[in-house]
Chains A and B, each alone.
Chain A
Amino acid sequence: MTAGLIWRCWLALVILLALTTAFAFVPAGSANILVALAIAAAKALIVLIFFMELRASTPLIRAAAAAGFFWLLIMIALTGSDYFHRTDQHVPVDEVRAAPL
């Protein structure tokens, strides 16, 4: 790592922050959260690869770092596929509270 590389990474991170904040005000429907998460992933990769030095790490360290994210992906995918495909009707909280016991 050199100072030049660190501050170039910082510049990229700040530009991505400005982009994602600006895009949040553009009406793009469900693309808003997808773009926001894609930019977040790009920022996270810059931090992981350069600041957290995965670029210069041994394969063992890289595998250990990737394992955590891989398990997280499984957890999010499985809980998401469950909730996304539930067919029972959503009951608004207000109606539950107003209903007689």
Chain B
Amino acid sequence: MREDVLGIQYAAREQHREAVTLGMWAFLATELLFFGSLVAGYLNYRIWFGDAWIAAASHTKIVLGTANTAILLTSSACMAMAVMTRGIGKRRAPVLWLLATAALGLAFVLIKGFEYYLEFQEHLVPALNFDAARYGDTAEIFFFWYFCATGLHALHLLIGIFMVLWLALAIGRGTLESPSPVRLIGLYWHFVDVVWIFLFPLIYLAGRNG
């Protein structure tokens, strides 16, 4: 929707802006509880299984995980640049920042895929080839949780990448006049970043000094 053509339900542009932003935050609240239940599950498992759970986490790839965190944080900065440059009416700059955001998102997914490949090689994938005799049963539960959490996060990121590419295309072609879609998809992108900010220490930083 073009923001300069207000729908009849809006009295002013500011009201439109607040309404669409509120809608996005309402959606993000449902996403927060969705990912939050995974975090709650992690914390309860950690209380339950104690050291065995922490030892299981030490089989994750901390170098790849840390690199991916840096990549995702940088992608968020690029997204913020896209929103900012779009907000002041630029056309070329936001397209470039959006492409950078999507490229970094793709790099994250590829590194994540490489990590899954390494974990498959090391027989760490539950239901496919998990070596319970070598790693223990608690580790199997940890890696089941790990693949659920990171898989759902990667799915969200893939959806984000497609939306960011669509934005870049629409802005580049000049078919998208309103600054709202960039801002709203930006909120989604940053939210997926926030989820990762919490998943990172839980997955990669546990059990590094034992």
Contacts and interface: CB of A to CB of B under 8 A. Distances in A.
Given A61-B21, A61-B22, A68-B25, A43 B197 contact: yes
Interface of A: 1-3, 6-7, 9-10, 13-14, 17, 20-21, 24-28, 32-33, 36-37, 39-40, 43-44, 47-48, 50-53, 57-58, 60-61, 64-65, 67-69, 71-72, 75-76, 79-80, 83-84, 90, 92-94, 97
B152 interface: no
Nearest to A80: B43
Interface residues of B, number: 54
Nearest to B81: A6
Interface of B: 18, 21-22, 25-26, 28-30, 32-33, 36-37, 39-40, 43-44, 46-48, 62, 66, 69-70, 73-74, 76-77, 79-81, 83-84, 87, 137-138, 141, 183, 186-187, 190-191, 193-194, 197-198, 200-202, 204-206, 208-210
Interface of B is mostly: helix
Contacts of A6: 77, 80-81, 84
A51 B87 CA distance: 13
A64 B26 contact: yes
A24 B209 contact: yes
A40 B197 CA distance: 6
A71 B81 contact: no
Given A1-B84, A6-B77, A75-B33, A24 B48 contact: no
14 contacts: A1-B84, A10-B77, A13-B77, A24-B201, A37-B198, A40-B201, A52-B187, A60-B22, A61-B22, A65-B25, A67-B29, A68-B30, A75-B36, A79-B40
